[in-house]
C-alpha cells in the first residue's frame, strides 16, 4: 500500500550544496519523495512510499534520509499536529462542522496539545474520536497520523530526557 507523509530535517550548515543533497538522497533511496530546500538549514520531504504499513513506511524513510544525511536531525513528521481547519480539510467537512462536533462532544473530544487562540491537536487522536463515532474519514490518513504522532512523541522524549523524566512519568501516571 502507498502512504503519504512529510518529514522535515534540520541539516548541518556545512551541507549547503543543494545538488549534493539531492544526489545523496537519491542514492539512499529517497526517490519516492518530493524534496524542498526553501528554508535555510532544513530539508522537507513529501513521501509517497510503498510499504506493508504506515509505521514501516515512515521509519524506512527516516532511515533512508539519515543514511543520505547522517548529521541531519528530524524536526517533525507530518501529518500530526493540526488545527480544526486542517482536520476539516482532510476529512472533507467545513471548519464549522468540526467546531460543532468539538462543542457538542466537549466531554469526550480529545484535549488539545496546545490551547489558546489557536488550539492544536494530535490528528490521530481526533481521528480516533471520529472513528469511535463511526464518522466518515479517509482510513489511510488515520494510520499515517498514528505513525507520525508516535515518531514525534518519541523524538521529543529523547531530546528532552533528564533525570527528572522518570519522576514526572510516575507522578503523571498516578494522577
Domains of the chain as residue ranges with CATH = 2-78 (3.30.70.1130)
- pLDDT at residue 92 tops 90: no
Tell me: the pLDDT tens digits for 29-63?
999 999 998 888 899 999 999 999 999 999 999 99
CB contact set of 22 (below 8 Å; sequence gap of 6+): 35
Residue 15: pLDDT band by 50, 70, 90 thresholds? low
70-79, 125-134, 141-150: which range is least confident on average? 125-134
Angle formed by the axes of helices 84-91 and 123-132, to 10°? 50
Residue corresponding to grid cell 506493508: 52
- pLDDT at residue 115 tops 80: yes
Amino acid at each position: 500500500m502507498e502512504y503519504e507523509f512529510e518529514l522535515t530535517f534540520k541539516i548541518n550548515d556545512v551541507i549547503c550544496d543543494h545538488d549534493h543533497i539531492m544526489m545523496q538522497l537519491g542514492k539512499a533511496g529517497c526517490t519516492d519523495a518530493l524534496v524542498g530546500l526553501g528554508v535555510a538549514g532544513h530539508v522537507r520531504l513529501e513521501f509517497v512510499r510503498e510499504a506493508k504499513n504506515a509505521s514501516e513506511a515512515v521509519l524506512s524513510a527516516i532511515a533512508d534520509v539519515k543514511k543520505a544525511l547522517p548529521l541531519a536531525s528530524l524536526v517533525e513528521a507530518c501529518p500530526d499536529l493540526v488545527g480544526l481547519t486542517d482536520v476539516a480539510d482532510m476529512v472533507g467537512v467545513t471548519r464549522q462542522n468540526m467546531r460543532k462536533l468539538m462543542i457538542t462532544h466537549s466531554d469526550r473530544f480529545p484535549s488539545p496539545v496546545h490551547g489558546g487562540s489557536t488550539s492544536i491537536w494530535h490528528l490521530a487522536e481526533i481521528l480516533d474520536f471520529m472513528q469511535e463515532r463511526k464518522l466518515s474519514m479517509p482510513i489511510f490518513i488515520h494510520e499515517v497520523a498514528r505513525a507520525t504522532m508516535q515518531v514525534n512523541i518519541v523524538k521529543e522524549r529523547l531530546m528532552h530526557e533528564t533525570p527528572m523524566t522518570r519522576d514526572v512519568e510516575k507522578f503523571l501516571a498516578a494522577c
